Amino acid sequence: MSEEYESRNVRELLTEMKDVSDITIDLAYASLQFENEELAEQVIELEELMDELMYQIRTLVSLSVRSVDDAERTTGILQVADAAEEISNATGDLADIVLRDIEVHPVIKSALKKANEKLSQVKVRKDSEIDGKAFHELKLPSRLGVWVLAIQRGEKWKIAPTQEAKVKAGDLLIIRGPQEGIDTFCEMASAPERDWRIGKKYRRLKETLARMRDTGCLMVDMAYSSALFKSVEVAEEVREVEEQYDELNYAVWREVLKAAKREKDVTKLNSALQVVKCIERLTDAADSIVDVVLRGVELHPVFEQALEEADERISRVKVSKKSPLADRTLGKLDLWSRIGAYVLVIKRGKDYKFNPTKGVTVRAGDFLIIRGSTLGVEELERVAAGKTKLPLEES
């Protein structure tokens, strides 16, 4: 086996592992929110795929080692790959809640509705705006910040459809994105308006669980990015966010105990506790990834190439005084429509603002954790630095 062949395959395997771990997180949460056994089965299939990818990568990495130096540089690959596998295993356990007929407590569904990155299932109506259109024509990530995770057409599922795939009337789409983007997409599909209300009962538990979900996803995304950009700064940010997560973890257990006093059957809260445990495993995996960066482990070039080829990007940007973002609300900026990226977290001094609403004002000096398409993130980095104007900016 030639070195070129080995490198090409390791790169392809790592790219697929990163993308599979991303999609399984979203689909696992969707299976819970909609109590969809077919989606949960798709997650289990992806978990099995990850096991096979892990076996292949261990074999190929072993074959690529030619020296002690090679061995040291591949330890980083294996540690990150192990973390990706653990992410897959944790999401498999989330899906297993649905498959084992454990009652999904309403607080879980409400928490997922309350989360910053929302999920929805949308049935496409005939003659709607998107009927018959290919995804590359719709440009959903750049226009709305919406990503299509899966399509159910009849009895068949298509996971992570390509940009060339076309939407057909009757399709059931599983999508992820900000509330405003999903609402607009529903209009385009001629689908009913979404109900985002979560009710008052156990409200603090729902809100805390929602923040845990967002924090776990954020840590995983930031961890991958810290490895990609060899960024100690972003890796340290993950560790800081982990401190916030630890506080949330304490708070959610406290709220579950309070809720238990009001439940006639406390076993119904079992699913909520299972979700908390799985999120903790996701955060532990993210910590394992940043450990590679913080310890200064030199990554093999094939790993960097692998992450560069992944579908989405996350970044940390500082808002300059000259930036058109400064002193404007997120609602006015409308970043997902203009650029194809949106703000997950605002860090101002030592304070973090998770799930910033459209009424939050961005200030010069703020650090923004942003996510979106590669082009969208790169554009927003330039805008934040004051190097360019916002697209569609009025003169």
Residues 122-131: pLDDT tens digits? Answer: 999 999 999 9
- How many Å separate Cα 46 from the centre of its chain? 16
Burial class, 271, CB count within 10 angstroms (exposed 0-12 / middle 13-18 / buried 19+): buried
Bridging pattern class, strands 172-177 and 147-153: antiparallel
pLDDT score for 258: 92
- Inform me whether the pLDDT recorded for 2 exceeds 50: no
Mean pLDDT over 165-177 rounds to: 96
Q: What is the pLDDT of residues 355-386, one digit of tens each?
A: 576 778 999 999 998 888 888 889 999 999 99
Interior angle at CA 129, CA 126 and CA 134, nearest 5: 95
User: What is the reported pTM?
Assistant: 0.82
Residue range 125-188 in CATH 1.10.3720.10: no
Asked if residues 217 and 309 have their Cβ atoms less than 8 Å apart, the reply is no
Name residue 166's beta-bridge partners.
134
pLDDT score for 7: 45
Query: Where is 225: in which H helix or E strand?
Result: helix 203-228
354 pLDDT tier (thresholds 50, 70, 90): low
161 pLDDT tier (thresholds 50, 70, 90): very high
Compute the distance between CA of residue 9 and CA of residue 13 in angstroms, rounded to an integer.
6
- Inform me whether the pLDDT recorded for 22 exceeds 90: no
- Inform me whether the pLDDT recorded for 299 exceeds 70: no
Q: What is the pLDDT of residues 62-117, one digit of tens each?
A: 877 788 877 777 888 889 889 988 999 999 999 999 999 888 999 999 999 999 88
pLDDT score for 3: 46
Q: What residue ranges of the chain are covered by domains with CATH 1.20.58.220? A: 3-110+207-307
- Inform me whether the pLDDT recorded for 393 exceeds 70: no
pLDDT score for 183: 95
* CATH H-level, domain 3-110+207-307: superfamily: Phosphate transport system protein phou homolog 2; domain 2 (1.20.58.220)
15 pLDDT tier (thresholds 50, 70, 90): confident
Share of the chain above pLDDT 70, in %: 91
Q: What is the pLDDT of residues 225-251, one digit of tens each?
A: 777 667 787 788 899 889 889 999 999
Name residue 372's beta-bridge partners.
313, 341
pLDDT score for 366: 95
pLDDT score for 341: 87
Q: Which two tokens stand for residue 34?
A: 């909609």
pLDDT score for 277: 95
Share of the chain above pLDDT 90, in %: 54
Tell me the chain's radius of gyration from C-alpha atoms: 21
Asked if residues 287 and 224 have their Cβ atoms less than 8 Å apart, the reply is no
pLDDT score for 21: 87
6 pLDDT tier (thresholds 50, 70, 90): very low
316 pLDDT tier (thresholds 50, 70, 90): confident
- Inform me whether the pLDDT recorded for 5 exceeds 60: no
Residue range 313-384 in CATH 3.40.50.2020: no
Mean pLDDT over 261-274 rounds to: 89
Burial class, 154, CB count within 10 angstroms (exposed 0-12 / middle 13-18 / buried 19+): exposed
pLDDT score for 305: 63
Q: What residue ranges of the chain are covered by domains with CATH 3.30.70.1450? A: 125-188, 313-384
Q: Which residues contact 173 (CB under 8 A, 6 or more apart)?
A: 121, 122, 123, 124, 148, 150, 151, 152, 167, 189
198 pLDDT tier (thresholds 50, 70, 90): very high
